[in-house]
Structures are given as C-alpha cells and as structure tokens.
Amino acid sequence: MKFLKILGTMKNGENMYRSYKRFIGYSTAFRQWKADSHCNKIHGYAFCFKVWFEGELDERGWVIDFGCFKRNGVKEWLKNNFDHTTCVSADDPELKLFEEMDDRGIIDLRVFPNGVGCEKFAEHVALYLQHIVDKETDGRVSVSKVQCWEHNDNMAEYHINKKNA
C-alpha cells in the first residue's frame, strides 16, 4: 500500500475546513415598499440559499453532516418561511392590508421586523442557521456566510462576524 507524503505540517487551530450547502426552490413573494422602482410592487422569485460552514472535522471527517438539516428541522423552517409565502417588512404602511389577505387565506404572510429583500433574507437565514449549527456541532462549526439568490443574476450575501457571533 502506498501512502501520500504530506508536504509540511500545520499547527492545530490555524486552519480549518469549509463545506457548502445549497437550499433551493423557495417561491417567495415580497415587496420593498421603500424602493423608488418597480420593486415596491409585490413580486417574487424562486429563492436559492447557499450556505458556507467552516470548522474542524468531526470523527467521520466531515465539517457538517448535510443530512442533519432534515432531522433538525432546518429544511422545514426554510419551507415555512419562504415557500409560497408573502414576506413584508413590519414597517410596511400596507401591513394591515397584508394581514387581512392572510386572514382571508389569499396569502401566507411572514412579517420581518427589519425589512425584506435578498440582503435581509440572507441575514435571517444565517443567524437562524448559526444557532442550529452551534447546537448540532457543540460549537465546532460556524456559518461563515449565506447568499440569497433571487435568480441567476442577482444575489446578496451576509457574513457572520465571528467576534460578534
């Protein structure tokens, strides 16, 4: 049996591994009422969230077990928040109208306290996932960034500052 020669050694703790997971297919409607363009109208996309994880490897040689996201409810949480929902900001002047449409079963409303759009959705997902990943890995792994893609051309990204996480 031949073994590969390792070129040099790394000090423990200076390097880490990264892995990446894509969550796709969340048809979401929203409006950015403060926009001075057509984005202030209700519109939607099939969102894709791309998530980067980093940390040391576990006993299996993995950064994170991708199968955990079904088991720990992350996929269900993403579906509940973004699949066939209408997302509006808590400060939207038409919030009462959206709430009435939700009450009547016309929309499935989600109200975001700090605004909507790719940037805010990426932040929302990143902070939620960081909480789940902390529990899942006993703090061994962190979420380094989340991208929210509204289609092939437009994307916003949120990075978690590890000093403040």
Task: Copy the structure tokens of residue 83.
Answer: 């699949």
Q: Kindly write down the DSSP assignment for every residue of 101-152, as one continuous string.
A: HHHTTS--EEEETT--SHHHHHHHHHHHHHHHHHHHHTTSEEEEEEEEESSS
At residue 150 the predicted structure's pLDDT band, cuts being 50, 70 and 90, is very high
Residues written for the chain: 165
- Identify whether the C-beta of residue 90 lies closer than 8 Å to the C-beta of residue 112: yes
Is the pLDDT at 117 greater than 70? The verdict is: yes
Over residues 27-72, the pLDDT tens digits come to: 999 999 999 999 999 999 999 999 999 999 999 999 999 999 999 9
pLDDT at residue 6 is higher than 70: no
% the chain with pLDDT above 70: 88
Domains of the chain: 17-159 (3.30.479.10)
Composition of the chain by helix, strand, coil, percent to 5: 25, 30, 40
